[in-house]
Structures are given as C-alpha cells and as structure tokens.
Structure 1
Amino acid sequence: MSDTTLFTPVTAGALRLPSRIVMAPMTRLRAETDGTPTPEMTEYYRQRADAGLIVTEGIWPSSDGQSEWRVPGLQTERHAAGWRSVTNAVHAAGGRIVAQLMHGGRKGHPDARADGSLPAGASPVADPEHVHLPDGTTAPSPVPAELSTGDIDRVVRDHAAAARRAIDAGFDGVELHGANSYLTHQFLADGTNLRRDGYGGSTVGRMRLAVELVEALVEAVGAHRVGVRLSPGNPQFGMVERDPAPLYRALLGELDRHGLAYLHLTDDDRYPALADLRPRWRGTLVANVGENREATTRASAKRVLAAGHADAVSFGRGFLRNPDLVDRLRHDLPWNPLDEARLYTPGPGGYTDYPRHGGASAGSPAG
C-alpha cells in the first residue's frame, strides 16, 4: 500500500471526504459555563478544517447529560448559534464537520452541571473517576440514579431534537457517542447495566437503547447524516464487558440495515473488534487504533488501512497538537510536542496556539 492511500477520497453517507484522515472527538472543556461554544472553539476547529472529516468533541443533548464543567451543549438556540459560528468557519475553510452527541449518563456531578442535577445512568453503579469542577478542583463521581423507562424515552427524544438542531446549526451530520463509558456504552456493558427490565438482562435488552437512539436519529435527520462510535471491550473509567463479541456482533446486525453514514470503531488488545466486526459492516468504517494505546501515527494508520480493517482512520492526539496534521502526514514531517498540562484549561494556551510546521502561527493559512 502506497503512502498516498491516506489521501484518497472516500464517501461517508452523503459526504465525500477528500482524505481518509478523520479528526477524532476530544473533550477540551473550553465552552462557556452554560455550554455555548466560544470564539476560541471556532478558531480551533477552523485551524483543522483540512481533515477529511472533523468529529466534534462530545456535546450534551440535554443538561441532564452534561458530563463535566464547560462541556458544550446543543439544547438551546444560544448553543446552536455558537455552533453555527463553528460550522460556518469550517465550511468556509473547505472542511466537513459532524456533531458528536454525548450523554454522560452516570458521568457527571451536580456541581459541574449547568442545571445542578444528579447524574443518572443504566444502573446505580458509580463511575470510579473524578469530575472537573468550576473551581479547578475535581470531586469523586456520585452514585447515579437509575433511569426509568420514562426517563429513557425522554433521552431518546432529546437526542433526536439535538440532531435536528445540529443540522439547523450547519453540521453535516451527527455521531452518536456509544463508546468510552458514556450513557449508551453504560447500557451496552454488563458491568454498568444491572437492569432486569427490557433495557437489560440480555444481549437484546442491553443493546435496546443504542438501537432506539439510532432509529430516532435516522428518523430525525436521515441515515446518510448519522454515524455511530462504539468501543467494544474498552475498560476506560471502570467499564466491564466480560464477553463483548456476541453483543457487538448482534448490535452491528441491527445497525447495518439502516445504511448509516459510517461506523466509528475503536480496537482493544483483549478484543480485536476491527478484525472481528469489519466483515459484519457493509458501510464505511472509521477506525480508531490509539484508544488506550500510543497515539495513532502515520505508520499505524497505514497498517490498519492495508489490513482492510477500515476505510478511514481517526487521529486524536495528533490533531490536538498539530493544526496542520494533514500536511505533516502527507510529507512525513515531525509533530509538535503535546502540552498535557493545558489540555483542559480555559483560554488559547495548549489549544489554538500550536504552531504549523516551520514555526508559522496556527492562525496562518495552511501551506
């Protein structure tokens, strides 16, 4: 496989991507306190608009799904106006961008939420991680409430409403975050879903919310505008999936029939999801191979494409520190060091001030 394979076009639903280099969703905690995107966020995404596709950081569809302080939302017209600035800037720079809808479920804290609500998830199983608070400290995650079936119905409606709002705000589509320990993943995983009703207790029950959410998004904005991110077997944040293969095989069987824009799938060393599930997915598949591993590189991206396990590859940390990552990949140029101390701090530092190759400021046009 030649070095140019990363740079051949590929389709994802209604979108024609000019390369197979996708910007992965990455939480940065830069929104206003009510969840409205800031001008700095507009600049951040504009700088990276030459990605084949940008997937935004996770966005809460409703305030009871806010996972941390300064995570952006898509619940109000003010939120939509802020995102419209982002999408206009990305499109003006020639890019494509989808909104990742991310309900925190059990993840969150009343002091880190705009509405002060207690998190609720599949079951009352606490997240072992701490949550960022407004004063700059962190606090243990509380034991969440259990969502009732009525609550679940509302969550599904909220996702559909947020998807419609995303399209109105200029996004090219939406991605359901069904991975990385957030709400949909909490229902899929047997370690966090202890329910004995129709949303738990079996493979069919555990995947029911994911299926209902996808169906609602498809009805709201069309299958050609809907992607799904899954992370089978991902142990982050205390997640436990004792035998992920049967559930995810069944889930892909349900989702594949919708003709979605793409599947965004992460691999895990204990369960080679890409190798197992690629043959079960007829549509476009975006692979993320850096989850819980070293950051995705030019070489590792080429390997996954050469193996036939994916049609495109998402880069996370590479895009964080290189606004011109596509150019650096094309010419095999060195990468900026990552400023880990400022990953989640307010302001442009460690966010929009990474230089392009050769020392040009990130705000300069791409060369």
Structure 2
Amino acid sequence: MTNTHTLFTPCQVGNITLKNRVIMAPLTRSRAGEERMPNDLMKQYYKQRKSAGLIISEATVISRQGCGWLHSPGIYSDEQMEAWQPVTQALHETETPIFLQLWHCGRASHSSFQENNQLPVSASAIKLNDDYIHTPMGKQPYETPRALATEEIPRIVEDYRLAAERAKKAGFDGVEIHAANGYLIDQFLQSKTNHRTDKYGGSIENRYRFLKEIVEAILTVFPANRIAVRLSPNGNFNDMGSPKYRELFTYIAQQLNHYDLAYLHIVDGLEFGFHNLGEPMTLAEFRKVFDGVLMGNCGYTKESAEATIQAGNADLIAFGRPFISNPDLVERLANNWPLNPPADMKDWYSFDAEGYIDFPTYEEIKNG
C-alpha cells in the first residue's frame, strides 16, 4: 500500500504538529563570537528559515570542557540561556518549533579551547587521526585526549541535564542529543574509540551506558516526546567507523525505542564520507527496530526525500547545506522553484553576516 504522506504534509512529533516534514538540520555556522553568545544575527538567520517543519539548532556546547569549534554557541551559563530567548521567541511568533542540539566535542577539541589548557577528554586516550583542527591559536595538530576517569562521568551527565534545563528556560521546544559524527557520546558508543575496561566499556551494553544515563537525566527535565537522539552509523567523520557497527547501532535503536522519544535522527546518507566497513545501514533497517518518528539526513534531494517518505522508511527528512543558501527552501521545494547557488565554503564558518543572512528568497529575486 502506498504511503500518502509527502514532504509537505503535517507530521505529529509528540504533542507538536509539524506543518511539514522538511526539517532544518543542525548546521554549525560560527556566529556566536568568542563568548559563545547567541545574538541578533543568529535570530535573523533562524527566523529567515521559519518555514521548516522543525528547526534543529546548530550544535551547542553543554560546558566549557565540551568546546572544540571556534565561535559556536553555548548553553552552559545563564547569560547564554537568556541570549537564546529572543531566538526561540522569534520562531514561536511564526509557530515554528525549535529543538536545541546538545554537544560535547570530546577528543575533537584541543587544549587551547580548554580551561587552563588541559587536554581534551574522551572515552579513551586515542588520538583523532586527521590533519589539523582550527583552534584559537590557528591550525593545530590533534592531541591525544585524556581518558575520563569513571568517577568523572556523572559530572558530564549532569552537564547535559543542566544544559537541557537551561534550554527549557530559554524557550526551546525540546532537545536533540548529539550522539553522532565522532563527538563525545559517539566516542563512548564505538569500539574504535572506546577501549575502556570499566562499566562504560567493553560490551555494547556498557558502551551504550553513557548515552542511556544522559537520556534518563534529561527525562527529569523534558518529557520523552521532547527529547531526540542523533546517530551516524555510516560515517567516518572525525575518524570514526567500527567493525561491528551494524550490531551496535541496531542495539542502540532498540534501546531508545523503549522511551517514546520525539524522534530518532539518523545520518544515513554518505555525503560526509563512509567508513567502508560493510554495507551502509539504511533507514529501512532502523524502521524494523524503532517504532517512533524516524528522521533521515545527509545528501537528500526533494525526489529522494519524497521516495523515502513514500516508502514508509522515514517520517521526516532533514536538509542541511540547501538551507544555508535557501532560507525559503520549503517553498522552493514545494513549488519546484530553482535553488540559489550553493554557499561558498569559506562562508560556512566565517564570523559575520556575509554568507549567512544575505541569501535572497525566490520571491525577492522574482520581484527584483
């Protein structure tokens, strides 16, 4: 039987009705300044993209220790929390829900981001194998991180809970836990980066424990249907990819299925790279073990997104790069209007308005 849902039909996410299934993916844009403070420029940027069914904020660090990217925003101080409020208020005026993505970079950081120039932390002391990282001191080689002691981990779980608490006070409709792309939670999940011998290492059940504790801590702040999790089973970004990835991510999805989450966000596309350790995992595989709302992401076109939803393999599709240069992406897709040329990569992470809030809508172009 053919699915009657399309990208442009409403979708129920918990008790929120999304006006369409085109989701704005989290996009790091580096406009929050050295103090990691949301600002009017960011408010304008998000409000321009108000036609998305749901906006997922750019990755937002939960603590000073979690920092690893220049000028990305934070949610670890009351000042940052208050600075986010105009952003959420502007979107609520347009009836567009927004979730805050909670982020800790783990080993994908550098001592120059850390208090007292301490080493970044990870599940294990395994260096990220990549050329360099952009730091406050310019390009620097990655460092071997410090493995977190068992007794330190509850403090980081609490940082996630406090970040969720501030997100709620800032007016966010929910939170997405960033457990993908080789950042701290992913470093605990995957055997490539987790060589621990305590209760957080070894078996899949133990490697999942950190994410489980974070989900359950945030459940004391938000109901389950306002909490989401993002996973990247196929990716090699940040030097990831583990041999038994299919077994691992199937297990994680099965466990998360018990919570009645808002959605499970799967980076299933291969545009960011593929670890080539076997066949890519598909949304259809996750659909078999996860009963809730499923979101696909990475490299989708209107046609492939529609086909995926029609097949019943996803309920929502997140678009990233197309939203950078097309603030009215939903309208363009719905009306088959041409897209603006892609944004220049140099503008993705620059620190000013150029390449950020200056892309015209189709109607503005048409009307001269």
Shorter chain as denominator, the TM-score bin is: over 0.9
Greater shift after overlay, 246-255 or 82-91? 246-255
**Counterparts of 2:294 and 2:110 in 1: how far apart (Å)?**
34
The reply on whether 1:282 has 2:287 as its aligned counterpart is no
Q: Which contiguous aligned blocks of 4+ residues in structure 1 show a shift greater than 3 angstroms?
A: 1-4, 112-117, 358-361
Secondary structure of 2:259's aligned partner: coil
2-structure distance, mates of 1:268, 1:242: 19
- Following the alignment from structure 2 to structure 1, what is the Cα–Cα distance between the partners of residues 85 and 338? 33
Structure 1 residues not aligned, in runs of 5+? none
Taking only aligned residues, the RMSD between alpha carbons, in angstroms, comes to 1.9
Q: Which residue of structure 2 aligns with residue 220 of structure 1?
A: 221
Q: Provide the secondary structure at the position in 2 that maps to 1:56.
A: strand
Matched AA of 1:55? I
Answer yes or no: is 1:356 the counterpart of 2:361: yes
3-state DSSP of counterpart to 2:17: strand
1:36-66 superposed Cα distances (whole Å, 9 cap, x missing partner): 1121111111111110000011111111011
Asked if structure 2 preserves the Cα contact closer than 8 Å seen for 1:266 and 1:274, the reply is: no
**Residue pair 2:5, 2:310 contacting (<8 A) in 1 also:** no
| Corresponding position of 1:298 | 302
Asked if the contact 2:99/2:173 (under 8 Å) is kept, the reply is yes
The Cα shift of 1:212 comes to 1.0
Q: Indicate the percent of aligned positions where both proteins have the same amino acid.
A: 39
Instruction: Give the drift of 1:240.
Output: 2.0
Equivalent-residue separation in structure 2 for 1:352 and 1:117 (angstroms): 36
CA-CA distance at 1:296 after TM superposition: 2.0
* Residue 328 (structure 2) aligns with: 324
Worse-matched range after superposition: 108-117 or 268-277: 108-117
User: What letter corresponds to residue 289 of structure 2 in structure 1?
Assistant: R
TM-superposed CA distance for 1:3, in Å, is: 9.9
Of 232-241 and 311-320, deviating more is 232-241
Residue 224 to residue 3, structure 1, CA distance change in 2 (3 Å): closer
Provide the C-alpha distance between the structure 1 equivalents of 2:47 and 2:134, rounded to a whole number of angstroms: 27
- Asked whether the equivalents of residues 38 and 82 of structure 1 are also in contact (C-alpha less than 8 Å), the reply is yes
Residue 360 of structure 1: how far off its partner (Å)? 4.8
Aligned to 2:351: 346
Equivalent-residue separation in structure 2 for 1:99 and 1:114 (angstroms): 24
2:250–2:286: 8 Å Cα contact kept in structure 1? yes
Q: How many pairs does the alignment contain?
A: 356
Tell me which moved more, 54-63 or 113-122: 113-122
Is residue 233–residue 241 contact of structure 1 (8 Å, CA) maintained in 2? no
Q: Summarize the alignment of residues 181-192 of structure 1 with structure 2, pairs less than 5 Å apart.
A: 181-192=182-193
Q: 2:121–2:146: 8 Å Cα contact kept in structure 1?
A: yes
Alignment match, 1:243: 244
What's the offset of the Cα at 1:358?
4.2
Q: TM-score, normalised by structure 1?
A: 0.93
The alpha-carbon distance between structure 1 residues 90 and 360, as it changes in their structure 2 partners (threshold 3 A), is farther
Who is 1:27 aligned against?
28
Report the AA paired with residue 330 of structure 2.
V
Counterparts of 1:37-52 in structure 2, within 5 Å, are 37-52=38-53
Match of 1:314 among 313, 318, 323: 318
1:1-367 correspondence runs (5 A): 5-113=6-114, 116-129=117-130, 130-134=132-136, 137-267=138-268, 270-288=279-297, 290=298, 295-338=299-342, 339-360=344-365
Counterpart secondary structure, 2:51: coil
